[in-house]
Structure 1
Amino acid sequence: MESGRAILVGAGPGDPGLISVKGLEALKEADVVLCDRLANPRLLEHVPDHCEILDVGKRPRGHCRDQEEINRLLIEKALEGKTVVRLKGGDPFVFGRGGEEADALKEAGIPCEIVPGITSAIAVPAYAGIPVTHRDDSSSIAIVTGHECPDKQESSIQWEHLAKGAETLIILMGVSNLPSICDRLIRHGRSPDTPVALIRWGTRVEQETLTGTLGDITRQVKENGFRPPAVIVVGDVVRKRMRLNWHESKPFFGKKILVPRTRKGTSRLGKKIEALGGEALVFPVARLVPAERIRKTIIDEGPFQWLSFAGVQEADMFFRGLKEWDLDIRRWAGAKVAVWDPEAAEFLREKGLQTDICNDLEAMASAVEPGERILHLRGRKPSGQMIEQLHSLGCRVIEMEAAAIQTRDDGIEKAVRSLQEGKVDGIAFASSSTVRHFVDGIGTKLNDWKDRMRSVSVVCIGPETAGAAEALGLRVDRVAQPYTVEGLVTAMESCFSKKPQGELAWAAK
């Protein structure tokens, strides 16, 4: 068996949007991922279903795996012919021990690629409003580890030169050694009044920033119970934070909002929440599946002279159903095809199926013959005028929803875990079906779910959704005005700020 390959991928500092395009592509191709604790776990949503995920993150005072074991796993999995991604926080080659892993892979004859990442040394201060260089305050920076290899006989960091040799000092992994770091810098000539910032979980929704001076920051850390991981910034640039603190000033900063959905993939609502500084916990709590009624209709009512699809989703459900039910497409030989959405025509073209009618009711009326049988697959809303007109022409139209909805246990379990950990500030419902599946799902897994929801702000996209939520025992705090995604965002911000929705016009922009 040919050996596989290893890719050392920098995940960036924490915000999942800061991984590179190339890093994301590597995750999509991975057979195995060895991930750090500093890499955002949401990035793992991009790996294939078959991918094996191994947590090799090292934790202070509780290391999971030592470096030799990590190297062994990288080599072992690659020798099985697999594509192995080593997902590392920040950049693999900036105090990430990526060089050691690359050395081990090279020695074992394993092809190894490096995908650089945005280092926390630069990005984390930026998210705290601190430029590491500035024309007026700093023309030089130095990046230093605050946690050297314990096997070293003595430190190789020349603090006497660093103290005055760089205007901005960035110290990684240094919180536990902060007292000695401050003492050394002051002893070697740095003023005790030099500004200092510590940024914990930088670029994430949990970001915390503590500022002080070399002379008092150690005391402040103790008084505030400030814990790692954190990036330490020393220098006059820290003062810029007073003017440039953009991330922590966003209206949803620090808030985690649950967004239950009926499908995987990106969420427009989730993107808006995150653009406003929050974290969207987007969990599919239900899945769309081909409606069983379609199978029975095909078998019992066929053949049909026409197949009609309201949109892409309906066409997709039809083909998924044929595969799931083991039905032969040749059953439809000779049937004509109509679609009512140009994107559905493109979808069918990719399946090798040409359409006869595309979003043209007049052409459809001219093409059908009296007595012809038409199977029309639609979404939740009836097709109304079109069906009436086809009936008036003597056609027999069987109209039905193409999809049924099933509860997804994996999404429900993630939602339950977030509630149990107290990590949910709000929940946004965009449909009554999502409400039902969410409540049905968590009700079977969390006995005290109503108690846990008391501290969670609940917003709904409209009166119908709100009515479904209240009927199932939820307290609805706000209803979107207007009944749109933008209205949902405005309603949620109103909950957090306690202001009337009418005063929050920014959210609908």
Structure 2
Amino acid sequence: MTAATGKVWLVGAGPGDPGLLTVRGLRALERADVIVADRLGARAVLDGLAAEGVILTAEVVDVGKLPGHHAVPQDNINALLAQLAGEGRSVVRLKGGDPYIFGRGLEELAFCQAAGVEVEVVAGITSAISVPAVAGIPLTHRGVATAFTVATGHDQIREIGGGADHTVVLLMGVGTLAHSALTLARGERGLDCPVAVVEDGFGAGQRVTVGTLATIAAQAAERGVRSPAVVVVGDVVRLSPYAPAELATLDLSSFDPLAAPGGRTPRKAPSL
């Protein structure tokens, strides 16, 4: 292949709200000749920008993936990026969330660099953090949770340790929700550990379902929960305004930031 004269930007589109696209990402879109766009997050951002009167002149190539169906295989996407840049074009690979969080961004970067194509990575706001925030769920909170783990519902999650004070965020986890809930319940979390499923975060169909590891799979089936959705497991779910009264039981007034580590978990509020 001849030396490329174009360039590829790997841009994180965020969770789908154009207001959460970074300024650097917007500038890359404005300069682009071609936008190679994912389905989740990316297309919603492009549609949102158009609705706000932002005019983008780039050609848009849709390479979106549906659950269980990849219309354009990843190898083809890699080759397309290198080909377009090799033609001297400015290419934005617009990816939902952040390119480096379950986005295969490094694979695309490595392929393009091996083909002599210059690549710049523009970080995005991952749905793993932003979508729980929509539901009023902080992934960490003093005295409640001091760490969190992000995984996919396709991963083996048996090795995720900790109790309800270690928040677990599952992406792409609707199809395996029942299995994931049972797996996490076998550890210190137990069946009573709170769970929230946030569907279509920042979208028109945004909806929050709150239950426990014992109940969430049945609740999700009854409500017809669908992807895209983010699953949050841990005591931080109790802080959500969507948590029912029987789960919103944390008494944060008992938290002492100077207490020894063993005394950092707040008491549950007394039942009324």
Aligned partner of 1:20 in structure 2 is: 22
Give, in angstroms, the shift of residue 52 of structure 1: 1.2
Structure number with higher relative contact order (C-alpha < 8 Å, ≥ 6 residues apart): 2
Q: Deviations over 1:280-316 (max 9, x none)?
A: xxxxxxxxxxxxxxxxxxxxxxxxxxxxxxxxxxxxx
Query: Displacement, 1:205?
Result: 3.0
Change (3 A) 1:174 1:126: same
3-state SS of the aligned residue for 1:164? coil
Amino acid at match of 2:95: K
Contact 1:141/1:169 (8 A) holds in 2 = yes
Please give the TM-score of this superposition, normalised by the length of structure 1.
0.44
Partner-residue secondary structure (3-state), 1:242: coil
8 Å Cα contact 2:17-2:202 kept in structure 1:
yes
Selected match of 2:6 from 4, 7, 10: 4
Indicate whether 1:33 and 2:6 are aligned: no
Q: Does 1:103 align with 2:132?
A: no
Residues 110-143 of structure 1, C-alpha deviations (whole Å, 9 max, x = no match)? 0000000011111000011111111121111111
Deviations 1:454-483 (A, max 9, x none): xxxxxxxxxxxxxxxxxxxxxxxxxxxxxx
Residue 125, structure 1, aligned to residue 132, structure 2: yes
Write the distance in 2 (CA, Å) between the matches of 1:173 and 1:243: 21
Paired residue type of 2:27: E
SS in 1 for 2:66: coil
Q: Secondary structure at the match of 1:226?
A: coil
The corresponding residue for 2:120 is 113
Q: Secondary structure of the equivalent of 2:161?
A: helix
Say if 2:10 and 2:93, in contact at 8 Å, map to a contact too.
Answer: yes
CA distance in 2 between counterparts of 1:243 and 1:211 reads 7
Task: Please tell me whether the aligned partners of residues 27 and 47 of structure 1 are also in contact (alpha carbons under 8 angstroms).
Answer: no
TM-score (norm 2): 0.81
Output the CA distance in 1 between the equivalents of 2:159 and 2:140.
21
Compute the displacement of 1:160 (Å): 3.6
- Conserved 8 A contact 2:169-2:230: yes
Structure 1 residue ranges (4+ consecutive) displaced by more than 6 angstroms after TM superposition? none
Q: Give me the identity figure in percent.
A: 48
How far apart, CA to CA, are the structure 1 residues paired with 2:14 and 2:101? 11
Aligned partners of 2:112 and 2:118 also within 8 Å = yes
Which protein is bigger by CA-based radius of gyration? 1
Q: Which residue of 2 aligns with 1:53?
A: 60
CA distance in 2, matches of 1:142, 1:61: 24
Q: CA deviation at 1:47?
A: 5.4
Structure 1: unaligned runs, 5 residues or longer: 149-154, 245-509
Residues 363-413 of structure 1 show CA distances to partners (whole Å, capped at 9, x for unaligned) of xxxxxxxxxxxxxxxxxxxxxxxxxxxxxxxxxxxxxxxxxxxxxxxxxxx
Supply the distance in 1 between the matched residues of 2:160 and 2:110 (Cα, whole angstroms): 31
Would you say 1:70 and 2:103 are equivalent positions?
no
Task: Return the letter of the residue paired with 1:136.
Answer: G
* Alignment: residue pair count: 235
Unaligned runs of at least 5 residues, structure 2: 244-272
Asked if 2 retains the 8 angstrom alpha-carbon contact of 1:146 and 1:171, the reply is yes
Aligned counterparts, 1:102-501, within 5 A: 102-148=109-155, 155=156, 157=157, 159-164=158-163, 167-242=166-241
